[in-house]
Amino acid sequence: MIRNLQIICFSLLIQIFNSCNTTKNVSKEYPRMIGDIAFDEKIDSTEFKLCNNDSLVVQYYAFTKIVGGKTYLDEKYEVEKIFEKNYNHKIVKKESGNIRIRFLVNCKGVSGRYRIIGMDKNYKEKHFDTSITNQLLSITQRLVKWKPFIKNNIQRDYYQYLIFKIEKGELIEILP
């Protein structure tokens, strides 16, 4: 009887140990949602606040959507014009590839927590010169007409991203 109890306790302990281990490994690998941007006090402004909890942030893709209307006032047209006017390719290093800036837009249409990744033409990670990334980031931060996203009559915070196609330092296209 005592021996049986010992075996059961031992098995339970192994199971608990295994489950803890698994959970730890998985949560280390994936965030709540792919691409989640947690607040980082070293780089993020404390002035930017989400209206709801981080776990309630929704995903948004293009600027135009079938239901719910566009996310940027005056559509992608205006975003392109702003970059066309403000991005100066003459002062940058002549590098090529894609740069993605992903960020959050809160329920008031204010953006924050910007994150940058870059790739070369073979989709390999690339760190672009700051003469390019600083300009792109600064112009992105100056886009102020993000529209609040309303779902079920509740204003929600959402993720948005821009991809910049760069050819020898020149901004060729803005996606998505």
DSSP-derived 3-state class of residue 175: strand
Give residue 129's identity as a one-letter amino acid code: D
Residue 156 CB coordination number (10 Å): 19
33 binds other proteins (CB under 8 A): yes
Q: Output 11 or 64, the one with its CB closest to other proteins.
A: 64
Q: Is the dihedral of CA 103, 45, 154, 35 positive or negative?
A: positive
Closest to other proteins by CB, 38 vs 66, is 66
Q: Is 89 in the site for other proteins (CB under 8 A)?
A: no
Question: Is 51 a binder of other proteins (CB under 8 A)?
Answer: no
**Would you say 10 or 77 has its CB closer to other proteins?**
77
Q: What is the rounded CA–CA span in Å between residue 115 and residue 161?
A: 9
Binding region for other proteins (CB under 8 A) out of 32-40, 44-52, 133-141, 149-157: 32-40
Residues numbered 97-136 forming contacts with other proteins, rule: CB under 8 A:
98, 100, 102, 117, 119, 123-125
Kindly state whether residue 12 participates in binding other proteins, applying the rule CB under 8 A: no
> With respect to other proteins, which residue has the nearer C-beta, 63 or 87?
63
| Helix (H), strand (E) at residue 77 | helix 75-86
User: Interior CA angle at 30 toward 27 and 34, to 5°?
Assistant: 145
146: left (phi over 0), alpha (psi -120 to 50) or beta: beta
State the residues that interact with other proteins by CB under 8 A.
26-27, 29-35, 59, 61-66, 74-78, 98, 100, 102, 117, 119, 123-125, 159, 161, 163, 165, 173, 175-176
